[in-house]
Amino acid sequence: MLDLRDICKRYVTQSFTQVALDSVSLSFRDNEFVAILGPSGSGKTTMLNVIGGLDHFDSGDLLIDGISTKDFSDRDWDAYRNNRIGFVFQSFHLMPRENALENVALPLMFKGVGKEEREQRAMEMLKLVGIDNRYKHKPKEMSGGQQQRVGIARAFVTDPSVVFADEPTGNLDSKTTFEVMELIQKLVYTKNQTLVMVTHDSNVAKYSDITVNICDGKITSKDYNTK
């Protein structure tokens, strides 16, 4: 579904140039659960932001369903972000004034789904992630694990073509990490969801089907995990 071809990305500051992605070529197929594993600073977040349309790359090409994005306009990228993808963040990025149900329903509003259907679908997702009894709670009234369940529900609610997760357990303790990864794995298989997750933690990467190693902005290996 996604094809990265020789993607390069540098950050240029006054004092230095940092190569974040160094000629990355990689593809993600439908229904794959892929973990990108690498140490801090290896280019993981840059890669997710580039393939999620949140940031631009300098050279190379990203193909979406075989179509080059070289000539994509801002509108094309907006449509891709709103209609095709979901994002799970390390620090949850929930709207602080909105309750759990409203947070999960928000991406459906951007898609133009009516209020009644939005709330019904958001509630179903909250049930799937096991926190429907807290639907009225605001983020600050929930634990980190509960907030990330809301974040996961929000990413999955639109049935996107692909979900991206950037260190989804990075702010969680080890017990909650285990619970959240079990949940992500269950959702991936029940919904046949394509998911690309980046992590520095090999214990977290193990939950995926495929582990891609990245170091200094370069892909060093791709392995199929045995379960």
**Which residue ranges make up the site for ligand ADP (CB under 6 A)?**
11, 13, 18, 20, 38, 40-46
Q: Which residue has the tokens 């992630």?
A: 129
- The whole-angstrom separation of Cα 100 and Cα 148 is 11
| 211 near Mg ion, rule: CB under 5 A | no
Cβ 61 to ligand ADP shortest distance, Å = 19
Query: CA–CA separation, 217 vs 105, rounded Å?
Result: 35
Between 106 and 215, CB nearer to ligand ADP: 215
Helix (H) or strand (E) holding 163: strand 162-166
CB of residue 194 to Mg ion, shortest distance in Å: 21
- When CB distances are held under 5 to 8 angstroms depending on the partner's kind, the choice from ligand ADP, Mg ion, none that residue 46 binds is ligand ADP
Contact in structure between 129 and 206 (CB atoms under 8 Å)? no
Q: Is 45 in the site for Mg ion (CB under 5 A)?
A: yes
Please give the angle made by the CA atoms of 151, 88 and 31, to the nearest 5 degrees. Answer: 115
Q: Stretches 4-12, 41-49, 109-117, 151-159: which one binds Mg ion (CB under 5 A)? A: 41-49
Q: Nearest approach, Cβ of 44 to Mg ion (angstroms)?
A: 5
Helix (H) or strand (E) holding 172: none
CA distance 144 to 208: 22
Nearer to ligand ADP, 13 or 192 (CB): 13
Residue at 190: amino acid letter: T
> Sign of dihedral through CA atoms 173, 175, 179, 185?
positive
Q: Which of 149, 179, 217 is nearest to 4 (CA)?
A: 217
Shorter beta-carbon distance to ligand ADP: residue 16 or 224: 16
| Binding residues for Mg ion restricted to 135-194, rule: CB under 5 A | none
The item of ligand ADP, Mg ion, none sharing an interface with residue 194, based on CB under 5 to 8 Å by kind, is: none
Q: How far is the CB of 205 from Mg ion (least distance, A)?
A: 14
CB of residue 227 to ligand ADP, shortest distance in Å: 26
Q: Interface residues with Mg ion (CB under 5 A)?
A: 44-45
